[in-house]
Structure 1
Amino acid sequence: MTRKYKVLFLCRDNSASGVIAEALLRELAGHRFEAFSAGPEPAARVHPLAVAQLRSGVSARDILSPKSWLEFTGEWAPRMDLIIALDESVDEHHAPVFPGAPSLLAWSVADPLVDGVPDDERVRLFDKMFWQIVRQVSALIALPKFDTPRGQGGGIGNKASTALPASDARCTDSGLASPPVEASLGTVTVNPVIVSAEDRATTCDS
């Protein structure tokens, strides 16, 4: 019996980056992945600027809502294959134990909810964060280990973590090939970089 890979995105209040990543993975590869998102301090609603980023090209916006990560820690919670932290407050040092011993990753993306930012700058940060996540999600989808649904001879066979580079320009200057990935949102350039299982985080050089 085959099944989809289950991926849980974590961010602090689950109102911006987490729901965007959830929506994009579902939209771009819903036939192979089940996407979820949550956080330790769920907001009352999805941030309006996150909704605005998803308005064109993402169909299932109405099912998005901030959720507590405790919903995914109980006995009856779905067993995740992969947990992806989108900010340091929810990385492996802060996150609870999730059932099933899923693999852990950290992606470095812009924080559009940082305090003291003017409205125009916040809009720019949301746009930057959105396209970083588009590239990260596209790179994740393109990894060979996820080519085949679970139970068809491919996919994750162990708990090795694959770290993907952030989409900042400085993260893609290594000279590695950057194959285009076709998606419903257009063609984006990705740069999948494999890191050892012990390196459970990926960030750009500061």
Structure 2
Amino acid sequence: MSSPYRVLFLCTGNSARSIMAEALLNVLGQGRFEAFSAGSFPGGKVQPFAAEIARELGYHAPLRSKSWDEFAHADAMPIDAVITVCDNAAGEVCPIWPGHPVTAHWGVPDPVAVEGSDEQRRQAFHSACALLRQRVERLLALPVDRLGSHELQRELRAIGHEH
């Protein structure tokens, strides 16, 4: 692959799940992949537990909650795949993405919705991250540079149905 395979992870608020997915793929992808995250209605801040997990993974790029509009305008960099990680974002009408990326949904329970002690909440974030990691590792195992777009989309969607 001459240039990294670019993946945009989407969630409504872009504060937790999509942020952790971005960190995971950028760290584990070792330059073969370039990951970004955004939200349909970004909350404007990254959840502290998500930022903590990203740092633990070794991801030190600046994290920020941002709108998917940054990736949808005509002169935006082309994205190869758009993956929603929350059920709300999966049901929303997405923009038309430059480059016609493949799309998939990898629903992950929302750790932000968990109530309880800090330790219980931190555990919910770690559980969400563990599920995302399994899926990211499956993505990393795919020969993305040799698969056609229909085959790749089918594979990415299958990953979202695994538990």
Which category describes the TM-score, using the shorter chain as reference length? 0.7 to 0.9
Between the aligned partners of 1:99 and 1:92, the Cα distance in structure 2 is 20
Matched position secondary structure for 1:55: helix
Between the aligned partners of 1:127 and 1:140, the Cα distance in structure 2 is 20
Partner amino acid, structure 1, of 2:134 = R
1:10-49 pair list within 5 angstroms: 10-49=10-49
> Larger % of helix: which?
2
Question: How many positions carry a matched residue from both structures?
Answer: 159
TM-score in terms of structure 1 length: 0.70
Partner amino acid, structure 1, of 2:136 = V
Relative distance call for 1:113 and 1:203 in structure 2 (3 A) is farther
How large is the Cα RMSD of the aligned pairs? 2.0
2:117 aligned with 1:126:
no
Matched position secondary structure for 1:44: coil
Between the aligned partners of 1:37 and 1:91, the Cα distance in structure 2 is 14
2:143 aligned with 1:158:
no
Between the aligned partners of 1:75 and 1:159, the Cα distance in structure 2 is 23
Between the aligned partners of 2:58 and 2:4, the Cα distance in structure 1 is 20
Structure-2 residue corresponding to 1:102: 101
Partner amino acid, structure 2, of 1:31 = G
TM-aligned CA deviation for residue 26 of structure 1: 0.6
1:62-77 pair list within 5 angstroms: 62-77=61-76
Between the aligned partners of 2:79 and 2:71, the Cα distance in structure 1 is 9
Relative distance call for 1:135 and 1:203 in structure 2 (3 A) is closer
Structure-2 residue corresponding to 1:193: none
The question of whether the paired residues in 2 share the 8 Å contact of 1:14 and 1:46 is answered with: yes
Identity of aligned residues (%): 33
Flag the structure with larger Rg: 1
TM-aligned CA deviation for residue 157 of structure 1: 2.7
Partner amino acid, structure 2, of 1:110 = P
1:111-150 pair list within 5 angstroms: 111-114=110-113, 117-119=115-117, 120-143=119-142, 145-146=143-144
The question of whether the paired residues in 1 share the 8 Å contact of 2:44 and 2:66 is answered with: no
Between the aligned partners of 2:130 and 2:158, the Cα distance in structure 1 is 14
Between the aligned partners of 1:132 and 1:139, the Cα distance in structure 2 is 11
Higher relative contact order (CA 8 A, sep 6+): 2
Matched position secondary structure for 1:51: helix
User: Which structure 2 residue ranges, 5 or more long, are not aligned?
Assistant: none
The question of whether the paired residues in 1 share the 8 Å contact of 2:6 and 2:33 is answered with: yes
TM-score in terms of structure 2 length: 0.87
Partner amino acid, structure 1, of 2:131 = Q
Partner amino acid, structure 1, of 2:13 = D
